[in-house]
Structure formats: C-alpha cells, structure tokens
Amino acid sequence: MSKKLIVIGGVAAGMSAASKARRTDPNLEITVYTDGEYISYAGCGLPYFIGGRIASKEDLIARSIADFKKQNIDVHTFSKVESIDSDNKKVFIRDLKENKLYEDNYDKLIIGTGARPFVPNLDGMHLNGIFTLRTINDGLNIIEFLKKERPKNISIIGGGYIGLEMAENFVENGCKVTVIERAPHIIPNMDADMAEILTKYLLEKGVDIRTRETVKDFSGNSSVKSVVTDQGEIPTDFVLLSIGVVPNTEIVEGTGIKLGHRNAILVDHKMNTNVDGILAAGDCATVYHLIYEKDVYIPLGTTANKQGRVAGENAAGGNAEFKGVIGTGIARVMEMEVSRTGLSERECQDLGIHYESRKITSLTAAHYCPTSKSIHLKLIAERDSGRMLGAQIVGYAGAALRIDMLATAITVNSTVSQLIDMDLAYSPPFSPVWDPVLIALNQF
C-alpha cells in the first residue's frame, strides 16, 4: 500500500516539495491543500506586474493545477487546513467555498504555509486605499484601485526592497512618492553609508525619504487622506504597507512543534521538525545562518524553493540536506541596483566580531565605454584571519550581480588573500582591467 504525503501550502516551498517528492517516489500519494486561488506563482514578480512590465498574471504562474495533475499530484485550492492532529496523523480542512470541514490522513506532512505581511494595529487601518502586497490577489486589487482612483500622493511605509521596487512604478507614473522608514536609513540590512547612496539617488528622482519617522495612524472618512506620524501629517491617496512579514505558524498550535526565531517553525538541515513525520519549509520556517551559526528567520523566495525541494525529497524517503544561507539579497530601483550578502558592519558589531571594512568607488566597464557607470562596493573581513564576512554593492548596469561572486566566496569561508588574485573575466564592456571586486580586495 502506497504512503501518503500531505503538503500544506501551494506556492514556492509547498509546490517545490510536492514536485520533488513525486520525482523521488513515483508511487507516493501526494495531496496539496492551499487556501488561495493561485498556486506556484512568483510573488517576487508582483511589483513588475503592477508596473505593467509583466503583461498578465498568468505570466507569474510557473505551473498550473493541470500541470501538477499530470504528475499525479492532487491540488486543492480554497482549502484551508485549520488544525493538525499530530498524534493521529490527521489534518482538518475547511472548504472555503462550501464552508465545510473535513479531515484527511497522512504518513508524512510538509508545512509550507508561508508568511503574511505584518499589519500594525493602528487607527484608520480600515480605510480604503491602504494595501499590502504578498499575493496575486493583492496585486490585482492594487491595479484595480490605481486604475479607478488614479492616486497622486503615494505613501510607502517601509524602506525595504519591496517598498522601493514599488516606488519606481509610482514615480514613473508622475506620482509624488513618500517613503517612511522608522530605522535610521532605508534598506536597514545594509550599512548607512551604502544606503545613503541610494537615498541620494531617490531624492534626485523626486522621492521624499523620511527616516527615523514612525507612523502613528491614518486619517480620512471612507478613504485614506493622510498618514499621521510622530513628526507630522502627510497627505496621501494610497498607502502601501511594506514593513516585513509574519510566519504563518498558528496552525501548529497544540501539535508540540517547536517554534524558533520570530515564531517560525524550527527545522533541522533535513527540514524535519521535532515532531515525527512532520517537516516544514519556506517562509514559515527557520533557516540556518552559516556565519551566525544558528537558526534565524530570513524569508526569501530562493530559500523557500531550496527548503521545499529538500523537504519533498526527504518526505519521500530521501536523505537530502540544506546547509544554510548567508542572507544574500538584490533589488533594482529605477536605474540603480543594490545587493548585499553576509554580515553588515552593524551585525559584526552586534556579534562582537573584530572586523575591517573597505569601500571603493569604481566603474562597471572600461572608462571609455559609453555603458560605463559608477559602482560602489564595500567588503567586510575578519581582522585576524582575513575571512570574508560581508559585501554590499550599489551601482548601475549590472553592478549588483557581482554579489554572487562574493556570496560564493563567503559561503566557502574564503579569505582576502585567497581571493585577491582571482582570475576574473575581462572585456571593456563588462569591467575595467581591474574589476571593482579586485580593487576593493587590494585595499586590505
């Protein structure tokens, strides 16, 4: 008799898990429950869908329910798993269309419930024109509002990647955009001197950047008309809340499953929880940080797919491992690109690590090439050993992708002395004779 795998969640981690489980065991019975309408979609592409660079929501969907059916994977949308009976290996599901509750049994269970936007408990949150962005339906709701209301004053709460990617869309449409960030600078996981380069660029583009400012509430009658902060009132027609996410882990209450950093499900390298037969992956789970050497919560689409793949293989009888992450991220804001990996200077200070940093400004191509643009690069290394700990890049024209080279070096514990003679490719359209990375390494 074949074993049964139930997967809770139908986006990155869940569908990666289901697909890998099928490839690992062709005879495994696999059922996926998701409370949403859409599955297997690229949430990171939503700002570009809203901005019109992606023509259709279907372009965001990697694989359809019909595609998974061909793999003999049974997908149930609008089906919310409300609770788990870990002792008897059962889940209780509510059909959201019929409002009926039913149960299903499993041999193995993968929790891939993801995360939801953090929504502060502030007065005025009920007003029309206040949005979060996480799902395709969120994107569709924003597009509908923008077409109908044509707002001119945009307030983005939060100066992280998603908020700034969205700012680009509004600036291009001639809107007045205000970004409100309560931290000392935007992109809080970068160092202040690097974030300042992007801040200056955005100010030149007409974006009002307000840091060290806290939102208190929203005012208006039926629709939002202003954002009230600890420093005043900002007129607005549209608010995007982009202040982080919360892992969807309420479902594990009563199961005995342990939670870790920020109440994410604690998993090991094989994606096992502490409860036999239950695995977890993606934005609802912790991940091991290779430099911190502990489990943390860093919800990223790349990590969700990798963890889902490992969970699926192991639920189907495999023995895969996911070693961990170092917090690599990248974004483009108009023509400017930003990326980071490893530790920032602030993180080194918090961890008590003795470090040195070097920051340089160079060019993305040979100075005589018309495509040559500026690139700002910071490297951070452990003082005594020379071990690479972190890197940050702000620049133009493909500058940010150099972060992948540095992420690789940090992942394998390379030192400055090992990297300083790297044989990097050179051609005038791609870099100067001395690549900016090598220039920075030579400053140590």
Is 44 an annotated catalytic residue?
yes
Q: Give 365's DSSP letter.
A: S
One of 44, 175, 284, 369 is an active-site residue; which one?
44
Q: Give 261's DSSP letter.
A: G
SS3 415: strand
- Pairing relation of β-strands 294-296 and 355-363? unpaired
SS3 76: strand
Which residue, 6, 12, 11, is CA-closest to 303? 12
Sequence-separated (6 or more) residues with CB below 8 Å from residue 93: 33, 76, 79, 80, 81, 82, 101, 102, 103, 104
Alpha helices in 290-366 (DSSP H): 301-315, 345-351
Residue 116: both structure tokens together: 């939801």
Sequence-separated (6 or more) residues with CB below 8 Å from residue 147: none
Q: Beta-strand (E) ranges in 200-293?
A: 208-211, 215-220, 224-229, 232-235, 238-241, 245-247, 278-280, 287-289
Sequence-separated (6 or more) residues with CB below 8 Å from residue 204: none
- Pairing relation of β-strands 336-342 and 329-333? antiparallel
Active site residues: 44
